[in-house]
Chains A and B, each alone.
Chain A
Amino acid sequence: MTWAELHRASEAAAIEAEQIFRKGNASDSALLYAKAAELEQQALAAVDAGKARTRGITAVSAVSLWYKATAYERAEHLAHATLADPSIPQFARANLRHLVQAIWTESSKRAANVSFLPGQVFVSVKGGEVITGGAPLDLIVEKVQTIQAMFYRTVELIKDMPLRLRGGPIREIQESCRPWLFQAVPGSYQFAVAIQEAKQLDFFKEDTRPDLVAHQFLEILKATASEDLRQLETVVPKAEYRNAFLKLSRNLAPTGKTFASIELRAATDDDPISLTPEARTAINHTLSTIFLKYTNVFDLPC
């Protein structure tokens, strides 16, 4: 069979897998994704060596399909084999590295024997005193604690709880949505955060999507750094929460003395949210604007 025939057959299986997954049947979907991956890997073997773009796209597609089939070993093996090929184009290399990162984290989560909510956030601290794979401990501990505080606030917002004015989150929140830290591929200093799944099935209201915690976390972070108050009001409708999130984002952003930037992104997103000293200034400006608008909620804890 030619590349075109094999790729077309893989596409058909992948489309069917996606539609079945959206109907909530993850196991049947994984089987179809595996079939699509097998066909795509055969298509990859059938591409002429001179067709670099087609080879790159097909390789990324095949690794993605093994990943979606939750066949992480097959995905990792193919990703590394492809990365070892010097003729693979740059765009495919970048995508394959992201895939390897996601595969490692998913494999670790599986090995931990704990259920996690879908989605995770990759955090990367760069510049200044930070080196590849290493960073001052106090800096990382502070950033991790701020990220944990933002995750708890996000869960409280999703659960429509009144703003907590003092102390940490209630035990139910701490135990049900515990953030976990995972190692990520070195490159500056990186780690991944995933949220443990609540054991109580009715922890979230029926009309909320617990799998959106990571997504909501990133949307909030993006809105706090955007200087667009209207966007922030849309993402965080409660004024008192807006203030708390702005302070947390400001604390996350660098002053420029110890490190240059912190980037956060979803495993499924190539486009990170980057907090720099300029972002910190912008967040402070937004806080001042809000102070003038809502002076009664300014002095709230993070």
Chain B
Amino acid sequence: MRDVGPLRVDRLHERHRGLTQALADSYAEAASVCWARHYQPPVTVSLRHNDTDEFRVVNFAVPDARVRSAYANEIDATETGAYGVSLAAVEEVTGLVAVGRAETLTGADWYVAPNGTSIEDLESCVRLEVSGISAGASADIKRRLREKVAQAARGESNLPAIAAVIGFKALEIALSPLGAQT
């Protein structure tokens, strides 16, 4: 593994034009609550993609009691935080940024595209499939990613996508392409 600098989860709206500032702030706050359950900043996370494993340093504001209380629901906080971390990681690795989102039964999916692309539809966008794990170990992150890849291989979705699994306690981010890529 090699050290390759920071991962910026804050101020995502300045780089991802699909995000509003309010949403970007809530993603960063939720991620800080999830990491702060286990660690003090800064934290060094492992970012795995395409058989590559890199270290990234993440700095985050220690959440005060008010912020912790706002994200007291662990499941919601993990899901919200994982969106922010996934978008930051995908931006770092692929250069793709959030351009839009669409609702699903489960919540919402983000769609990413190269920065500067004019978005008149979602034909060439890639869906970002996000999973967050609050307290699981490295094996849980690997298993969750394997499940996502296997699900795509069974042909349950023919939509090009990137799966991102975030382990807050494990300090890991795992990315993998799913299905046919554009």
Contact = CB atoms under 8 A, between A and B. Distances in A.
Given A12-B20, A22-B76, A3 B121 contact: yes
Contacts of A7: 100, 102
A54 B122 contact: yes
A54 to B, nearest CB: 4
Contacts of A267: 105
B121 A61 contact: no
B120 interface: yes
Given A15-B20, A58-B122, 8 more contacts: A14-B108, A18-B107, A19-B22, A51-B121, A228-B139, A268-B107, A271-B147, A271-B148
B101 A11 contact: yes
Contact of B106 (A51, A53, A231, A269): A269
Nearest to B144: A271
Specify which of B105, B137, B147 lies most central, judged by the most chain A CB atoms within 10 Å of its CB.
B105
Interface of B: 18, 20, 22-23, 26, 73, 75-76, 100-108, 111, 119-123, 135-137, 139-140, 143, 147-148, 151, 156-159
B105 A268 contact: yes
Contact of A102 (B73, B102, B105): B105
A148 interface: no
Contacts of A269: 106
A184 interface: no
Nearest to A64: B103
Interface in A210-259: 212, 215, 226, 228, 230-231, 234
A47 B121 contact: yes
Contacts of A94: 156-157
Contacts of A36: 103
Contact of A53 (B100, B122, B151): B122
Given A4-B119, A234-B135, A64 B157 contact: no
Q: How many A residues are at the interface, by size bracket?
A: 35 or more
Contacts of A234: 135-136
A230 B143 CA distance: 14
Contact of A14 (B103, B119, B135): B103
A48 B18 CA distance: 22
A61 B104 contact: yes
B105 A67 contact: yes
Contacts of B159: 53, 56-57, 89, 91
B105 A4 contact: no
B137 A60 contact: no
Contacts of B102: 7, 57-58, 60-61
B158 A89 contact: yes
Contacts of B148: 271
B133 to A, nearest CB: 11
A4 B147 CA distance: 33
A108 interface: no
A231 B108 CA distance: 28
A178 interface: no
